[in-house]
Every structure is written in C-alpha cells, then in structure tokens.
Structure 1
Amino acid sequence: MARLPAGIYLRRPGYRILSALVLAVLVAGVVLLARLFGSATPDGTTDAVPAPEPSRTVSSTEGNDSVYTGPSPSAEVAPSAAIEAGDAFVRAWLQPTDGRSQEQWFAGLSRHALPDLAAQLREVDPTTNPATSVTGEPTATVLSETSARVVVPTNAGPATTLCVLTADGWRVATIDLGE
C-alpha cells in the first residue's frame, strides 16, 4: 500500500468534514461533562466564582481636565477670597452683552485664571457662551487647604470653578458649565 504525502488528508473534503465532526463531538463531550459534574446550589444555579470587578488605571495625561474630580469635600467654610475669585471669574467669563470685544473679555477674565486656563480661553469666541448673567449667590466647598470648588448659578446652569491658592492669591484652574 502506498503512503499518502503529509497533510494530504486536509486537502480532501471528506477528511475535512470528518475532522470537524470529531472536534465537535469532543467539545460537546467536554461541555456535557462540565454540566454533569459541576457544583450546583440548592436553587439550581451553579456555584460559580464571581467575576472580579473591573479596575482602571488612570494616567495623569488622560481624561477631561475641565472637570475636577478630586478628594471628597470637607465641611469647612471656604475662604471668602476663594469665593470672590470664583465669582469674579464667572462674571468676567459670561457672554458679553455690553459690546465688549473678545480682547476685552479675555483681559477681564485672565486676571482671575491660572495661566493654563487663560491659554485655553485665549482664542475662545465669548459670544458662543450660553450664560449671560449670574442668577444667585456663589456657594463654595473646601477641597483642601489650597483648593475650593465654587459654584456660581447662571441663567444657563451652574458654573462650577476649581479655585486654587497661588503665590498671587486665589485663581481659577477650571470651569464647567451646567454640572
């Protein structure tokens, strides 16, 4: 009897079908055995190991840097200078309705902002800001000795600022409208 070359059985359709059937029977057998001999609780559910909670590694370079999600706030009263800085920034940040130019708008708010935030707002068109007026008194929450969250109500929703203490006094690091 002549011997077939190596691998010839996979080139013939009949051998492929036979190989697939053998593999299917083996998989079905393993699944059946697992079901028969797996442990079950009295209510009929299997006693499976719970899936671990997904974990997430946060990189300092990812995420939205305009929303502060730092440590939980304390019950301390925020310094009035922090509240004043957040309120002054939001009032300067509102859409100008008095004819101010973009340059005038930017000059007014940049003195209350950290350099990073000011750089982000340098080319912003203030007429796209939906907020045009403050509608209430600012509230503040102390986050640490050098930071506070100041919320100023506006006609477009609350404007939330993160104020930080710098060598030049309290300055706004981030702003988020409507949270």
Structure 2
Amino acid sequence: MPYAVDPPQIPQNFVTPLILTTADMHATYPAGPTYRGKYCRVSDMWGSTDGVYRCSFNGRIHFWEPTTQNQMPGNYTVTGSVTVQPMSSAPIMELLGTLPALTTWTITLGTDNLPPGIIKEFRPSLSSLLGTLNVAGLGIGSVVSLALGGNRRFVSMDNGSAVIWRQLN
C-alpha cells in the first residue's frame, strides 16, 4: 500500500537511525573527520538519560560532545574509593553515606572519552565525615579535599596534548 505521504526519513546528519549506548557509539563511530558535524542518539548519557552527541573538532582533536548538559543532581552513595567516568554519571553528584573515622576515600575523575568543556560537581551530603574524602584525577594535581557542605566543581579542558580536569572552585 503506498504512503499518503513519504515515510519519515532519518535526517542525514545522524550517523545511524538507531539509539545506541555511549560505548557502542564510541566503538562503532569513533570521533574523526568522517563524522565531524554529525549526531548520534544514545540511551545512557549521564548514566541514564536519552541524549544526543555531536562529533566536534577543536583544531587538535575530534571528540563526541553532549549537545546538552544535564543539571539534575544524581545521588551516589560513597562506600570506598572509586573512579567516576564523566559521561556515565550525573554532572552533579550528591554524595551520600557515612565516612568512617580515620578512613581516606578518594573519588578519581576518569577521562574515558572525555570531551573538553564538561563540568563535574561534587556535593558532599554525607551523614558524617569523620575520615577524609578526596577528589583526584589527571590534571588536577594533588588531591582536593571535600568537606561537608563544601561543593567542588571541575571542568575538562584540552591543554594542547590531552583533555584533563581542572578545578573551578
């Protein structure tokens, strides 16, 4: 049966009509000149949100960047040292739990497929902070201590040889 109108077409600026996971997008469509300016839909941006990435170029590197920055905090219960990957966790992380006395836990900012311009904020809302909670990551330098009520923000930036994290406050 012929359509009364042409069937819907996926715009040519998307690399695929499918909605992929972020890992599948990076594996199947690696950022590069072929995909520059193209878009890809994913099901797990910021860990759980449908979103769209755009393949961009900053004069040095190609990268997939999110077209939106989710501003909704995500809860994360701290139970020990952990590496947090930027695109698989909420940009604003409300840290919950209890840090035992005389314990040091470190949250390391990961750099897997990290595009420049991503903001990551930590809000410690732990029920107690008797030990030490730090943030570490490539480019931050020494670890940064988190105290109750003391939010910390970081931004990813291209320093000319790598995309690294820098502390904003």
Larger relative contact order (Cα-Cα within 8 Å, sequence gap ≥ 6): 1
TM-score for both structures, normalised by structure 2 = 0.18
Considering fraction of residues, name the structure with more helix: 1
Considering fraction of residues, name the structure with more strand: 2
TM-score for both structures, normalised by structure 1 = 0.18
